[in-house]
Amino acid sequence: MRDSTSEDVQRFHRWSRTYEQSLGQRLFFDPAHRRAVELVASLMDGTPPGQVVDIGCGTGRLLRRAARRWPTAALVGVDPAEGMIENARRLTPAATCLVGRGEWLPLPDSSADVAFSTISFHHWADQAAGVREVARVLRAGGLFCLADITLPGPAALLPHARVHTRAEMRRLFEQAGLEVLEQRAIRGWFVLATIGRKGAS
């Protein structure tokens, strides 16, 4: 059987050569990054996070935005495509950028205050395991903002393994032990941000 996940990673590895310059960055990804960072900041008590992690970081654009918002935070980017990580290291030298997957984060337990994943969740091979893995690396009280393509309620009747309704996304968070604080559409109706908080151990 062909490994579609590996093929996906290789596609992003090849795309890394032109990814930073693609028109979609300015028209789609940058606005989603901006709204995700704003939403998380609005839920914090004004204390800057000690560490911010971006899962599926690509070339590091969200991390650079996070650095402007929280200049004292340690930045960590994780992506399975080596080409993306090479470019992220070059373009975002203040960040630690590591090859890894949502289902396997090369980070210690309880090490992150804030984690983001923007428009990459539908590529994760085992999404439930990935959300549990994010919960593992969050400190008590840490926030996870997952923004991804969503489906409207009636589409829940259709077969779909990687794209979810609001209710399904809430269930994934709750099953991982994350309290859902907010769900909000951030790019029309089709990109949903779900923000969860890890409780005290």
Q: What is the pLDDT of residues 117-158, one digit of tens each?
A: 999 999 899 999 999 999 999 999 999 999 998 877 555 544
Torsion, CA 178, CA 182, CA 183, CA 187, rounded to 10: -120
Nearest to 107 by CA among 53, 69, 159: 53
Query: Does the pLDDT value for residue 184 go beyond 80?
Result: yes
Q: What angle do the packed helices 82-91 and 4-15 form, to 10 degrees?
A: 30
Query: Does the pLDDT value for residue 188 go beyond 60?
Result: yes
Lowest mean pLDDT among 9-13, 76-80, 163-167, 197-201: 9-13
Number of other CB atoms surrounding residue 21 within 10 Å: 9
**Range 152-170 average pLDDT:** 70
Q: Residues of the chain with pLDDT > 90: what percent?
A: 71
Lowest mean pLDDT among 25-34, 71-80, 92-101: 25-34
Task: Count the residues in the chain.
Answer: 201
Query: Does the pLDDT value for residue 4 go beyond 50?
Result: no
**Range 169-177 average pLDDT:** 97
In this structure, which CATH number among 3.20.20.70, 3.40.50.2300, 3.40.605.10, 3.40.50.150 belongs to the domain 4-198? Answer: 3.40.50.150
**Range 46-72 average pLDDT:** 96
DSSP 27: I
pLDDT digits (tens, 9 = 90+) for 90-99: 999 999 999 9
The residue extents of the domains of the chain are 4-198
Q: What is the pLDDT of residue 1?
A: 29
Mean pLDDT estimate for the chain: 90
| Pairing mode, strands 191-198 and 178-187 | antiparallel
Torsion, CA 184, CA 125, CA 93, CA 42, rounded to 10: 20
Q: What is the pLDDT of residue 189?
A: 74
CB burial of 172-188 (b: ≥16 within 10 Å; e: otherwise) equals bbeebebebbebeebbe
Q: Residue 164: which pLDDT band, with cuts at 50, 70 and 90? A: confident
Q: What is the pLDDT of residue 46?
A: 85
**Range 56-60 average pLDDT:** 95
Q: What is the pLDDT of residue 161?
A: 57
